[in-house]
Amino acid sequence: MKGILLHGGHGTRLRPLTHTGPKQLLPIANKPMSEFCLESMKDAGITEVAIIIGGNGSNKVKEYYQNGNRLGLKITYIEQDTPKGIAHAISLCKDFVGKEKFLVFLGDNIIQKSIKDIAEKFENDSVSATILLCEVDNPSRFGIADVKEGKIVKIMEKPKDPPTNLAVTGIYFLTPKIFEIISRLKPSWRNEYEITDALDMLLKENYKITYATITDYWKDTGTPEDIINANNVILQKLESYCHGIIETENISGNIMIGKGTIIKENAKIVGSVLIGENCNIESDCMIGPNVSIGDNSKLSKCHISDSIIMENCVIDCETKIKNSIIASNSKILSKKNKENILLLGEGTKILL
């Protein structure tokens, strides 16, 4: 079985974070969110993956993943010139897939559950597709599956009056039959070729689609709030370790400290907190809970909670930063003591 990872799109809801690169490279627990997808594919037994790239900063995807050797994968890159929808992106992989079954993963989907057993079952079944569903509180935001007596009877894209709360996640097990279906699709009202329309056409033509339900955790990380939530969940499941130097005794919860990092005396760390390599956390800082800090960052005077600080950041301010995402190479300097919610793009420098 082969894999397809969709890594395109403009990430407009995440601007300014996505002005300099694709949203799927934004870090969760100091790792690009799309890397979690590739790890799920590898866990499912997949070793050959096509990454669909396009849009802003797609060259950064190639620079980061290269040929895939670091992850034990063989990666092929396929360009999607314009964002014409998920089904269109899949259609570009016809030659890559050949006659094999395959798994499609949207690069901004985060799950905690292994899908290895689902992949094995699909490999041995004669069904045309298996999709992963998840119960959601706001079904009108998603593609929805109408399920009756354990069978999918209809699939629809973002219905105004959803018949169920079972969202179609961005994880699809498919066969080459889908390419012929996609070739007959018409653009939706969004002028895109929708994968939900292709799946619904499969159903109408009496092809069998089965489903599995994600019951522990699934997040479509389309907004800053989604990314912060996913970061918090993953941090809480990590095991503590320390490869740096901790001079303070004010530590609680699970703490992950990278090589070369120094936590100065009297600094306070409240887990879950992940701090990368070669960071400097001064004695007047309070970090946590639910904070990830990228490599080579230097923090002083600040109180940070429920936030993501990317690599090479400098924060030297008497301020509280909460529910924020600070992109790489940012500098925050301040002489005032107040609470801030920040969404800073790469290379931002501000004086509060």
Where residue 159 falls among pLDDT bands split at 50, 70, 90?
confident
CA atoms within 13 A on the CB side of 171: 32
**Could you give the residue ranges of the DSSP H alpha helices within the chain?**
33-43, 58-65, 86-91, 94-97, 116-124, 177-182, 195-204, 224-237
Question: Would you list the domain boundaries of the chain?
Answer: 2-223, 238-351
Is residue 335 pLDDT above 80, yes or no?
Answer: no
Percentage of the chain lying above the pLDDT 90 cut: 60
CA atoms within 13 A on the CB side of 244: 24
| Separation of alpha carbons 140 and 129, rounded Å | 23
Residue range 2-223 in CATH 2.60.40.2470: no
The pTM score is 0.88
Is residue 18 pLDDT above 80, yes or no?
Answer: no
Average pLDDT, integer, range 191-200: 90
CB 107 within 8 A of CB 21: no
Distances (CA, A) of 70 to 65, 75, 349: 8, 11, 33
Where residue 111 falls among pLDDT bands split at 50, 70, 90?
confident
| Separation of alpha carbons 202 and 335, rounded Å | 61
- CATH superfamily assigned to domain 238-351: Hexapeptide repeat proteins (2.160.10.10)
Average pLDDT, integer, range 142-162: 88
**How much is the pLDDT for 54?**
83
Percentage of the chain lying above the pLDDT 70 cut: 89
